[in-house]
Structure 1
Amino acid sequence: MSTASTEPAGLGRRLGAALYDGLLLLALWFFATLALMPFTGGAIPPGDLRYEAYLVAVGGLFFVYFWSRGGQTLGMRAWRLRLVGPDGRPPRAGRAACRYLLAWLSWGLGGLGILWVLVDRERRAWHDLACGTRVLRLPKGGLSARP
């Protein structure tokens, strides 16, 4: 894939894709929680750290799988975005996992890591800077969904 015909994704598109993916993630968490119910007696106590770690891991599997397979989650595909590593290809699983974990920090600090896109010349968020990734905006109909 040539990145010459793409440009860095802006904040609006990133947030649009994040909203789509957030809805998908909620549904995924619902079914992941449902799968636990037979083992918990039908209830999970509030603040259960094992449960919260489980949900973070389920989310990680979702994002790392899609990012490392083709550089796009379903939300990113809808908003014509693609995640790439330094070589312009979808990141490998380790780099995608780095991005996923550090994205929690970017969002968790009041979204400051995400808002960094407005400051950075190449429109990178903190987790993109730390993990060597970029989110590119794809032209309409110009590039296929897969590299």
Structure 2
Amino acid sequence: MPAPPLRRRMACWLYEGVLMFGVVVAAGLVFSIAAQMRHALEHRHAMQAFLFLVCGIYFCWFWSKGQTLAMKTWRIGITDRQGRPLTQARAAWRYLLCWLWFLPPLALSAPFHLPAAEVGVLTLGWIAVWALLSRFQPEGQFWHDVLAGTRLTDARAPKTPASPAPAANADAA
């Protein structure tokens, strides 16, 4: 079963980012109140770790149920290679591997102390390359899905064959 079209998967990916913005803002607010932060750089690394865990919990929970909120909107499902729902462990492994969308350009930019604009361009370029690399995978899956043993599926309702028109009743004349 082939993956949903790349265009639909990337639209879902973008929508997921919009939803995650709200999750991160809410979690950041909870953390900053609990830690009594008075400055944005105070407890910065602890907040990053907390947000990493919150995002991981969000994705692992929804992936183990078959879809995130954005995936429901774009009618994309997620299963393991055999078509079964993901276990929490497999969902966590996929979450870690999904960081391949962002970590390579960030790791590359760190030793060169690039300005934020250049890091943004480098990151967007890598995202495009990573997405297009799915074209070279026989089933059209993203490579992190191949490594995680997961697959994105088309969750649209299967098309049912059109039923024949009812025959005219000969007695009703």
Tell me the TM-score range normalised by the shorter chain: 0.7 to 0.9
1:65 paired with 2:82, answer no
The aligned counterpart of 2:46 is 50
The aligned counterpart of 2:119 is none
Runs of 5+ unmatched residues, structure 1? 1-5
The aligned counterpart of 1:22 is 17
What value does the CA root-mean-square deviation take over the aligned residues? Answer: 2.0
**Aligned partners of 2:141, 2:43: CA distance in 1, in Å?**
33
**Aligned partners of 1:107, 1:118: CA distance in 2, in Å?**
19
Percent identity, please.
Answer: 32
**Aligned partners of 2:88, 2:58: CA distance in 1, in Å?**
11
Q: Kindly state the Cα deviation for residue 74 of structure 1 after the two structures are TM-superposed.
A: 0.8
Change (3 A) 1:7 1:31: same
**Aligned partners of 2:102, 2:6: CA distance in 1, in Å?**
13
1:118 paired with 2:135, answer yes
Runs of 5+ unmatched residues, structure 2? 105-125, 160-173
Whether the 8 Å contact between 2:133 and 2:142 is mirrored in structure 1 is: yes
**Aligned partners of 2:102, 2:153: CA distance in 1, in Å?**
20
The aligned counterpart of 1:138 is 155
Count of residues paired in the alignment = 136
TM-score, with structure 1 as normaliser: 0.82
Change (3 A) 1:107 1:118: farther
What is the 5 A alignment of 1:72-111? 72-109=67-104, 110-111=126-127
The aligned counterpart of 2:2 is 7
**Aligned partners of 2:150, 2:90: CA distance in 1, in Å?**
8
**Aligned partners of 2:50, 2:22: CA distance in 1, in Å?**
15
Whether the 8 Å contact between 1:116 and 1:124 is mirrored in structure 2 is: no
Whether the 8 Å contact between 1:37 and 1:43 is mirrored in structure 2 is: no
**Aligned partners of 1:50, 1:30: CA distance in 2, in Å?**
15
Q: Kindly state the Cα deviation for residue 62 of structure 1 after the two structures are TM-superposed.
A: 0.7
Whether the 8 Å contact between 1:13 and 1:79 is mirrored in structure 2 is: yes
What is the 5 A alignment of 1:25-44? 25-38=20-33, 39-44=35-40
Partner SS state of residue 46, structure 2: helix
